[in-house]
Amino acid sequence: MFLAFLIFAGLFVFNDMSRRKCANFRSCEESLKLSVNNSEVGTFSGRKILPPSIDLSYGTFEADVLGEAADIGEKHIYVDLGTQTLRAYEGDKLFMETVISSGKWGKTPTGEFKIWEKLRATKMSGGSGADYYYLPNVPFVMFFSNNEVAAGRGFSLHGTYWHNNFGYPMSHGCVNMRIIDAEKLYNWVGPVAEGNVTLSTADNPGTVVTIYGQAPI
């Protein structure tokens, strides 16, 4: 009987830990898919907030033709956790620079990643108690991964409508951006959007994202 209890408890703990490895543990798999809920209300910091309405006919697909930018240089995104800033370069040319919010309640992974999926919008939820959040219509989502941080863990750069405290850690592991910044980056970054859901391929590769430094406490 006692052994059975230990096995049950062990399975529970293992299951809970594996779920918490995701950036948004309540919506881990769901967050990786396109999700639009224009009639729903979000929750963050114990407050209700109206998400932005998502228009799936939004014309974001006029970005670079594949290969067009090859003579300018490779695209590369750098996220400095120490200064909470993001810089995007095309070769040596700075495309954009802005402040972000990295992980506070969950750690943002460091290393070199590639964008593997772009979604026009998705739903993210997690936390518990006062930290509970439910966020439909998270816009301009760019998921990144590498060999050590699996795609299924759901780390991404994305637009943020529930706080405005950029320059300071505020997320559960993702890289929060102002919507106007996320939109600009989304329309620039590889893979080139082929609709509201775009997976990177050998012919349409994801941009490299380098995340480094240590977030302020």
Partner 1 sequence: MQEGGNKPVPIFASETPISTSSIDVLSPDGKVTLTMKEKKVEAGVVHTFSVSNKEIFSKTLPKDSSLTIPFNAFSPDNKYIFLKKTVLGKVDYFVFPFSEGTEINFSGLFTEKFGSELTIEDATGWGGVDLVVINTQKVSGGKGPSFWFEVPSRSFIRLSHAF
Contact 48, 181 (CB under 8 A): no
Q: Give 69 or 179: the residue with its C-beta nearer to partner 1.
A: 179
Give contact residues for partner 1 (rule: CB under 8 A). 44-50, 52, 85, 96-99, 104, 160-168, 170, 178-180, 183, 217
Tokens for 143, please give them.
Answer: 């998921």
3-state secondary structure (DSSP) of residue 121: strand
Q: Which is nearer to partner 1, 145 or 160 (CB)?
A: 160
Burial string for 179-207 (b: 16+ CB within 10 Å, else e) reads: eebbbbbbbbbbbbbeebebebeeeebbb
Q: Please report how close the Cβ of residue 138 comes to partner 1 at its closest, in angstroms.
A: 13
> What is the token pair recorded at 90?
């095309």
Nearer to partner 1, 119 or 177 (CB): 177
Nearer to partner 1, 156 or 200 (CB): 156
Strands (E), 6-84: 42-44, 47-49, 75-80
Least distance to partner 1 from the beta carbon of 177, Å? 9
Min dist CB 189 to partner 1, Å, is 17
Nearest approach, Cβ of residue 166 and partner 1 (Å) = 6
